[in-house]
Amino acid sequence: MFSLFIHAWTNSLILFFICDLQGNFTDFALFRLLKAGFLIRMHSLPYMYLAGVVNSFDLNRKGISMGRRALIVGNWKMNGLIEITRGLAGDILAGLTNREKKRMMCEVVICPPFTGLYNLSEFLAGSALKLGGQNMSEYTAGAHTGEISGIMLRNVGCWYVLLGHSERRADNFEDNDQVGRKTAAALRDGLVPIVCLGETLEEREQSRTLEVIEAQLSAVLSEFSASKGKSHQLVLAYEPVWAIGTGKNATPEQVQEVHAFIRKLLADALGAEFADKIRILYGGSVKPDNAEKLFRLDDVDGGLIGGASLNASDFLAIIDAYPNNL
Ligand code: PEP
């Protein structure tokens, strides 16, 4: 029985890789094959690992072979009771299902409040829409009242976790070192951290943007290197604090300057080839009408979307704006 299972599973992988090379299938096809046919649990480590590896392949991104698959993430923040999160996730999923071809080009993740995760876990299992947490503890378990561990997030179907969002840095006094430790904890617990970096308006006006980004990133990279993280196990999000929830946009020049700087820091620390595979998202008042010009920038591999992700048609329009999805 066991050998039959292994045989079937191996065949499905071979089939998947052949199809993927032809550009006809995506990791989503793999999810369905594994889930429907071969009873691999969605939260199992081999499954997560395979999906991570697959996510690092994208021969179609902006028409060039860059090894980075676009990622669009919705951060719902502290919004949504169970019924609302279920309805919103359902609307987004229905939209993705109608975009069979587009879904192949972009990976899409939503980060609802903790209370919505369990309910959505069953609903979204094996679908094109993945779940992420908005934060996690650096600890595994124990006397940490009010905290949620990475293992708990995995247990309710999360693949990703946002770390170091500027609202947590401001409201909960999370500093660079703690965000670094949380990055190590996320890797340890089998989650892909999406680490947010960004300067305040005051720091930008003092021309300290790059210095701030460098300090934030170096705390993350020292832990990432110590954890021997792979390129598909880290996502960075540049989010200028002054552009979050304000309706103010960073200009494409400002965004590309910081993204290229982050890529250079990654190359210095991890090597150019490795750095070229790490996805860097932009976040800060991304809306359907400004998404495309931001997504077209060389070092922008997708977006972290706050307010606009609370409206299914706006979020789907942002997904449609990604160049490969046109
Ligand atoms: C965010 O919360 O990460 C964010 C980018 O929010 P908004 O899109 O509303 O600016």
Residue numbers of the domain that contains 121: 62-325
Question: In testing the pocket of ligand 1, which one of 285, 287, 310, 318 has its CB within 8 Å of the most ligand atoms?
Answer: 285
Residues 29 and 95 in one domain: no
How many helices (H) and strands (E) would you count in the chain? 16, 8
List the residue whose alpha carbon is closest to atom 4 of ligand 1: 306
Q: Which long-range contacts does 227-233 make (Cβ < 8 Å, 24+ apart)?
A: 227/183, 227/184, 227/187, 227/188, 229/187, 230/52, 230/56, 231/56, 231/67, 231/270, 231/274, 231/277, 231/278, 232/52, 232/53, 232/55, 232/56, 232/192, 232/277, 233/52, 233/187, 233/192, 233/193
Determine the 3-state secondary structure of 113 from DSSP. coil
Domain shared by 29 and 142, yes or no = no
19 and 162 inside one domain? no
Query: Does 7 share its domain with 99?
Result: no
* pLDDT < 70: residue spans in the chain: 1-66, 101-104, 324-326
Q: Hey, what are 286's tokens?
A: 């991304």
Whether residue 51 is found in the same domain as residue 170: no
pLDDT at site 98:
84
Please identify, by atom number, the ligand 1 atom nearest to the C-alpha of residue 243: 10
Residue 240: give its domain's CATH number.
3.20.20.70
Which pLDDT belongs to residue 5? 47
The count of structural domains within the chain is: 2
Please identify, by atom number, the ligand 1 atom nearest to the C-alpha of residue 287: 8
User: Which amino acid is located at 275 in the chain?
Assistant: A
Same-domain status, 19 and 138: no
The helix/strand/coil state of 161 is strand
Per-residue CA distances from 201 to 6, 156, 243 (Å): 55, 37, 9
107, 167, 203, 239: the catalytic one is: 239
Q: Token match 């997904």: residue?
A: 319
259: annotated active-site residue: no
pLDDT at 95: 94
The predicted-structure confidence for 145-190, as pLDDT tens digits, reads as follows 999 999 999 999 999 999 999 999 999 999 999 999 999 999 999 9
Do 99 and 54 share a domain, yes or no? no
CA separation, residue 66 to residues 54, 219, 285 (Å): 14, 26, 26
Mutate which of 77, 163, 236, 244 for ligand 1? The one with the most ligand atoms within 8 Å of its CB, which is 244
Last residue of one domain, picked from the residues 10, 28, 58: 58
| Same structural domain, 132 and 28 | no
The residue contributing the CA closest to ligand 1 atom 3 is 306
CA pseudo-torsion sign 168, 222, 160, 44: negative
Which DSSP string corresponds to 254-296?
A: HHHHHHHHHHHHHHHHH-HHHHTTSEEEEESS--TTTHHHHHT
How many CB atoms are closer than 10 A to CB 275?
18
- pLDDT attached to residue 270: 97
Q: How far is the CA of 293 from the centre of ligand 1 (A)?
A: 17
User: Would you state the structure tokens that stand for residue 320, as one six-digit string?
Assistant: 């449609």
Same domain, 303 and 205: yes
Q: Are residues 181 and 204 in the same domain?
A: yes
pTM for this entry: 0.83
3-class state of residue 235 by DSSP: strand
Per-residue pLDDT at 132: 98
Q: Is the CB of 116 under 6 A from ligand 1?
A: no
Report the candidate in 120, 118, 126 with the shortest Cα–Cα distance to residue 89: 120
Catalytic residue chosen out of the listed positions 138, 165, 174, 223: 165
Predicted pLDDT at 66 = 57
DSSP structure string for 37-104: IH---TT-HHHHHHHHHHHT--TTGGGS--S--EEEEEE--S---HHHHHHHHHHHHHHHHT-HHHHT
State the sign of the Cα–Cα–Cα–Cα dihedral 178, 179, 183, 188: positive
Question: Could you report the per-residue pLDDT of 73-87, keeping only the tens digit for each?
Answer: 999 999 999 999 999
Instruction: Tell me if 141 sits within 8 A of 106, measured CB to CB.
Output: no
Separation of 37 CA from ligand 1 center, angstroms?
A: 38
